[in-house]
Structure 1
């Protein structure tokens, strides 16, 4: 998988914005929106509303993706194997 940043343009709160992330993070975000049955804009809006004032949107999205993956791993580890 390419390590180059991929940029996506979004409209958040009526403003054009763009976010550049590595493809691996976009892949996790896509899994998150599929799991939560929401759109990418809805997810980004949620993350944007919760991020610290000094944190970039890209950084907040990366952290959210990692936290979601950690939660998935924890859930998987608690589920008994057949």
Structure 2
């Protein structure tokens, strides 16, 4: 298990993204923003496009978590696909 003394816990950061032409705010902890930016770079997508893709997957899933939760879960499942 990670030593929390070497892993700084930081509060969520709110950022604006645009999904299908609609601005929305997402609050994620910096570690999730870093992971989202890395995933977008790996997929050669802008952050907005990746968030939109995750949002479509979330809506298709049926049992809808909120978008922030969907992003965290997507990142958790994506972590092994590098």
Tell me, what secondary structure is at the counterpart of 1:69?
Answer: helix
Structure 2 unpaired stretches of 5+? 1-7
Q: Deviation string for 1:9-61 (max 9, x for gaps)?
A: 01211211000001001111111011111100110000000104521000010
Per the normalisation by structure 2, the TM-score is: 0.79
Query: What CA RMSD, in Å, does the superposition of the two structures yield over aligned residues?
Result: 1.3
Number of positions where the alignment pairs a residue of Structure 1 with one of Structure 2: 72
Tell me, what secondary structure is at the counterpart of 1:38?
Answer: coil
- Contact between 1:33 and 1:40, CA under 8 Å: does it hold in 2? yes
Structure 1 unpaired stretches of 5+? 73-82
Counterpart CA distance in 2 for 1:11 and 1:71 is 26
After TM superposition, the structure 1 = structure 2 runs for residues 1-82 of structure 1, keeping only pairs within 5 Å, are 1-51=8-58, 52-53=61-62, 54-72=64-82
Per the normalisation by structure 1, the TM-score is: 0.79
- Contact between 1:2 and 1:23, CA under 8 Å: does it hold in 2? no
